[in-house]
Amino acid sequence: MTALTGLSIAAVRDGLAERDFTALELAREHLRSIEKARHLNAFITETPEIALARAKESDARRAKGKALGPMDGVPIAIKDLFCTASVPTTAGSHILDGFTPTYESTVTAKLKAAGAVMLGKTNMDEFAMGSSNMTSYHGPVKNPWRPEGREKRDKDLVPGGSSGGSAAAVAAGLAPAAIGTDTGGSIRQPASFCGIVGMKPTYGRCSRWGIVAFASSLDQAGPFARSVEDTAILLAAMAGHDPKDSTSAPVAVPDFRAALKKSAKGLKVGIPKEYTMDGMPAAIDALWKRGVAWMQAQGAECREVSLPHTAYALPTYYIVAPAEASSNLARYDGVRFGLRVDEGGTLDEMYAATRGEGFGAEVRRRVLIGTYVLSAGYYDAYYLKAQKVRALIAEDFRKAFEAVDVLLTPTAPSAAFAIGDKMDDPVAMYLNDVFTVPASLAGLPAISLPAGLDADGLPLGLHLIAKPFDEETLFRAAAALEEACSFDAHPPGFGGSP
């Protein structure tokens, strides 16, 4: 990273205000970094013309003394699941080749109105279905981190998924911040693998309008950054009620950044006993124990709590999410937009050919699972039962939060693994989300922050969960944990913050 590409959002805003540099200089420096790091494959579509134009507009507003937005002049990367007017949106899939939206998602429209400078659209697992970024039609993203040791250091690692491109971009200094979506862990797990902060807001806190849907009752937009403070700043610019989205909550957006000033003294932190999994790596368990000690040192009270239905969360998720995916992906038929494979047969044959060529293996697998669990004779046995278990999982959290303010868990059961690993075993891949899925099923806000390194020098994350629409307490706890663990490592070869 250069001096400019290593800056936080807060530092960027201060530097622009002090005239230390211009938004245009900042944008150009990040665009140069993106060009140099194309081997990471973090971006599907780069938008240098848009970035430079928006940076110039920001500088002009500042020069004329006009009102500035909270993200004015700040470069950001956008997951390629957010529809962006006049810019291709692929969702990482072949079936959306050639699709250029004529409209803007609510979240990206808010960020544009806040003055953010879009650098490009980041790579991702196809339709957000994956935990490694290996399912993207545009090829895998490479994690900027590399394992230590002569035998391992030449291995390219996954950045996590599905928002792997956004996480890798922030970790490598290609953008000070990025946005992604989280359905079962797709922000938090990549944040852990890439050594940055990733946050999933409460379901309904950010609008889903204009986001390509995976599982509509689970999908939620959220921020990536290099600090808890930056995620708080970015979330405030993204959040808010949207009448175009029926699941958008009509609640006020508080000053998330102000919550960071409160100490953790008096906070009650729950440690779910069910999250101690059989075969959990020693490094993960040790980091979790250190996290407990760190919170206690910050003045919090830690106590064991029970979430008895935790063991059923992952199978429940992999019934509910594919069922909703099979419904949402039915619209991709080769008729209205995107890819069309027409070999001169019937309409049904055109549908089949388009979907067969347009969807990757993982998407086809989940659509088949979803169609099966929704089919006649199996709906009650699978989908309906999964919804009942989902309600029990949400009730577990409700009861736990009667005694505690936040929950502390590991983010992922391992550090980043090598590209190509686990691809022949879908269940092993799905287990990457074992700690993040329960909060998603309950619609709760959760955050992952980097807290240590494993024996190979790779980052590991800790995970905090809070009550619905209590992001303020979540940020308060996260800021305390961030201060205690003092994580300042960075990917070798990409430098550190100035």
8 A C-beta contact, residue 281 and residue 413: yes
List the chain pLDDT tens, one digit each, 498 residues: 568 999 999 999 999 999 999 999 999 999 999 999 999 999 999 999 999 999 999 999 999 999 999 999 999 999 999 999 999 999 999 999 999 999 999 999 999 999 999 999 999 999 999 999 999 999 999 999 999 865 566 789 999 999 999 999 999 999 999 999 999 999 999 999 999 999 999 999 999 999 999 999 999 999 999 999 999 999 999 999 999 999 999 999 999 999 999 999 999 999 999 999 888 899 999 999 999 999 999 999 999 999 999 999 999 999 999 999 999 999 999 998 899 999 888 999 999 999 999 999 999 999 999 999 999 889 999 999 999 999 999 999 999 999 999 999 999 999 999 998 877 777 777 788 999 999 999 999 999 999 999 999 999 999 999 999 999 999 999 999 999 999 999 998 885 443
Closest by CA position to 112, among listed 61, 171, 69: 69
Active site residue 216: no
CA–CA gap between residue 310 and residue 317 (Å, rounded)? 11
Helical packing angle, 23-36 and 48-63, nearest 10°: 160
Closest by CA position to 289, among listed 279, 308, 278, 276: 276
Active site residue 162: yes
Which position among 8, 33, 162, 192 bears the catalytic label? 162
CA–CA gap between residue 104 and residue 109 (Å, rounded)? 6
How much is the pLDDT for 154? 74
Helices (H) and strands (E) in the chain, counts: 16, 11
Active site residue 58: no
Rounded to two decimals, what is the model's pTM? Answer: 0.96
CA–CA gap between residue 360 and residue 273 (Å, rounded)? 38
Which position among 79, 112, 422, 467 bears the catalytic label? 79
Q: Would you state the torsion angle of the CA atoms of residues 411, 415, 418, 424, taken in this order, to the nearest 10 degrees?
A: -50
In the chain the domains, ranked by start, together with CATH numbers, are: 9-267+412-433+444-485 (3.90.1300.10)
How much is the pLDDT for 153? 67
How much is the pLDDT for 1? 53
With vertex at residue 163, the alpha carbon angle to CA 10 and CA 148, rounded to the nearest 5 degrees, is 85
Which position among 186, 248, 440, 448 bears the catalytic label? 186
